[in-house]
Structure 1
Amino acid sequence: MKKLLLIGNPVEQSLSPEMHNAAAAGLGIPYQYEKRCVQPDQLEKTIMELRNGEYEGANVTIPYKSACIPLLDKVDESAEKIGAVNTIVKEGSKLVGYNTDGTGFVRGLKEISPFPIDQSHILIVGAGGAARGIIAALLSEKALCVTVCNRTESKAMELALEWENVKTVSIEQAEKNLDQYSIIINTTSSGMYPHTEKMPISLGTLKAGTMVSDIIYNPFKTLLLNEAQKRGAIIDNGISMFVYQGALAFEKWTGLFPDVELMKETVVEKLRRKLC
C-alpha cells in the first residue's frame, strides 16, 4: 500500500483523506491517504520523513504552505511565483513542490461560469495566499482584467504590484461599481463557519446574471452567496476548488486523473453528515 499525507495545523476538520481515498478506490489503485497535525517544531522532521520514509507525497495546508518551501529540493515555477506549496511529490530522491489551488479553482469556475475568462472583468475580494494563487491561474488563462479589493488597501496594492495587468480599488469603490464585473470571487474567510453572519462585501449594486464565487464550502452557501442568489446571480461555493485542487494533486502523485464527480459526491456527503 502506497501512502500519502496531509500536513497542517489544524487538520481535524479536513475531508482530504475521505476524498482521496475514494478517488484511489474508484481507480482500483493501492493508495492510502492520511492526515497529521504537525506542530511548528515538527515540520522539518516531517518533511524528512517524507523524503526518507514510506510516503509517496503530501498535501500541505495552513500554516505551512510557505514555511515548507526552504525544506524542499525544488519548487515548480508557478508555485514559486505564488510563494506557496500545497502539493509535494517525491521524484526519485528529491521532493518537489507544486501549487494546485489556483488552477483547481479555475477548473471548477470554468465548469459553471457562462463568461469566458479571457473576456471577463473579474473582481477578487481579498489579498492573501488564496487570492495570489487564483490571480496567477486567471492570468494564465488570459483574463481580460483582474481587480483586487481588500479591507487593508495596502495589501491589495502590494499584491497587484506582482503583475502588470492587475488593478486595485477600495472596498467602497468596489461596492459602488459591482455592476462593472462579470465575475466576483471571494477569497477571504469572511462568512466561514462559525462566523456565518459575516459578508466580505456589500452587494447593493450587483447586477443579475453576475457570476459570484466563494472559496468557502462550510457552510455550503455563505451569506454572500445567499444574497447574491437573491439578486439573480449565478453562484458557486468552494467545493469545486477543493475537489479540483485535490484531483490535480492526485494526478501528480499517481499519473492518473481521478473521477472528480466521485470525489465531489464524497465531500458533499461527508459535509451533510457533519451538518446534521
Structure 2
Amino acid sequence: MQLHMGVFGHPVSHSMSPCMHKAAYAHLNIKATYEAFEIAPNDLELAVKSIRTEQLTGVNITLPHKVAVIDYLDEISEEAKAIAAVNTVVHRDGRLVGYNTDGQGFLDSLIQESDESIQNKKVLLVGAGGAARSVAVSLARYGVEELAITNRTLGKAAEIAKICEPFQSINVYPRGLAQAGLTGFDIIINTTSIGMHPDMDRMPFSLETLKRGAVVCDLIYTPLKTRWLQEAEKKGAKTINGLGMFVNQGALAFELWTGQSAPRDIMRKAVVEELMKERGD
C-alpha cells in the first residue's frame, strides 16, 4: 500500500519538508509520496476535507494554518491542546487527529545536543509567539529547575506562563531585567524570527552578561548560524541552531504516519544538502 503525505501552508514553496521526508521514505524503501500544497486561508476547510476524500495518510501544517486547522479536526492531542496549535494531522480510521511535534522536536534536539541533563538547568525563552508557546509547553511538561520568559509585550509572555501552569510555573521578566540577570541562566532560547532575512544583522537580545559555558539556542536554521549564535560562541557558549528542531519535528510526524522509526541522520543530511544547494555551495 502506498502512503500519501504532504504539507499545507501559505506560502509553502520554500518548505524543506518534501526533500526531508522523501529522503526518509527512499532510505527505508517505503512506497510514499510527499507534496507541498499551497493552501490560502480561505481554502483551508476544503483542503482539510480533501485529506479524507483523497485518502491522504496525513499532512504537516505550517504557517499560517496551525491554529485555524483545529476547527476542522475530529480530535487533538493533549500537547496540541495546551499549545493551541497543530503542525501534524494523522488520518486514522476516517478520523483526523491533530498533534503538535514542534516543542517535542526542539526538546529532543536540546537533549541530544546538550552535554548534560537539562532538568537541573535554568532556562530563559526570548519571545512569546507560536514557537515560544510550543517550546514552553514541552519544556514545562519535561521539567527544568527554572523556566522563564521575556518579551517586549509582557502580556503575551504572561499568556504563555498561564498555559504552562498545569505543568510548571514560569517566571515572566521584562526585557531589561532579563538581560541584567542573564548570567543566572544556563540555557537561553531565541524563539523569534530576528536573525532571519531581512533581519540578519540584528540580534533578538543582548548577550553582554552571558556566562561562559551557557547554552544558547536559536530556532532559526536559515542561516544555520545567526549573528546571535556567532556572538554567543565568542563568549564561550555552546550553540544550537534550529535544524535539529526542524528535523525532529518532521521525524515525529513521520513516525506517527508510518509507525516506523525515522532515519533522523538521513533526514538531516537531506535538509543540509538542500540548504547548501540554495546557497550555491
TM-score higher than 0.5 here? yes
Query: For 2:245, what is the secondary structure of its paired residue?
Result: helix
Indicate the residue corresponding to 2:212 in structure 1: 208
**What is residue 246 of structure 2 aligned with on the other side?**
242
Question: How high is the sequence identity, in percent, across the aligned residues?
Answer: 43
TM-score (structure 2 length as normaliser): 0.96
1:179 matched to 2:183? The reply is yes
Partner deviation per Cα, 1:45-100 (whole Å, 9 max, x = no partner): 10000022131100000000000001000111110110000000001110000000
Change in Cα spacing, 1:115 to 1:167, as seen in structure 2 (3 Å) is farther
* Structure 2: unaligned runs, 5 residues or longer: none
Q: Give the alignment partner of residue 229 of structure 2, picking from 225, 232, 256.
A: 225
Q: Give the counterpart letter for 2:220 in structure 1.
A: I
The answer to whether the 8 A contact 2:70-2:86 is kept is yes
Deviates more, 1:112-121 or 1:178-187: 112-121
1:156-198 CA-to-partner distances (Å, cap 9, x unmatched) read 1222122331111011111111110000000000111232011
User: Given residue 218 of structure 1, which amino acid in structure 2 is its aligned partner?
Assistant: T
CA contact (8 A) 2:136 2:160 kept: no
Which position in structure 1 is the counterpart of 2:149? 148
**Residue in 1 that maps onto 2:65:** 64
2: CA distance, partners of 1:41 / 1:157 = 31
* Runs ≥4 residues deviating over 4 A: none
What is the CA deviation profile of residues 228-263 of structure 1, one whole-angstrom value per residue up to 9, with x for unaligned ones?
001000001000000000000000000011110111
1:275 aligns with 2:276: no
* Count of residues paired in the alignment: 276
Q: Which moved more, 1:126-135 or 1:80-89?
A: 126-135
**Distance in 1 (alpha carbons) for counterparts of 2:110 and 2:223:** 18
Residue 42 of structure 1 aligns with an amino acid whose one-letter code is D
Q: Tell me what 1:13 maps to.
A: 14
Contact 1:47 1:71 in 2 (8 A): yes
Q: C-alpha root-mean-square deviation of aligned residues, in Å?
A: 0.9
3-state SS of the aligned residue for 1:199? coil
> Distance in 2 between the 1:252 and 1:112 partners?
24
2:260 paired with 1:260: no
Task: Determine if contact 1:184/1:211 at 8 Å carries over to the other structure.
Answer: yes
Q: Which residue of 1 aligns with 2:53?
A: 52
Measure the CA separation in 2 of the matches of 1:41 and 1:88.
19
- How many Å apart are 1:31 and its aligned residue? 1.1
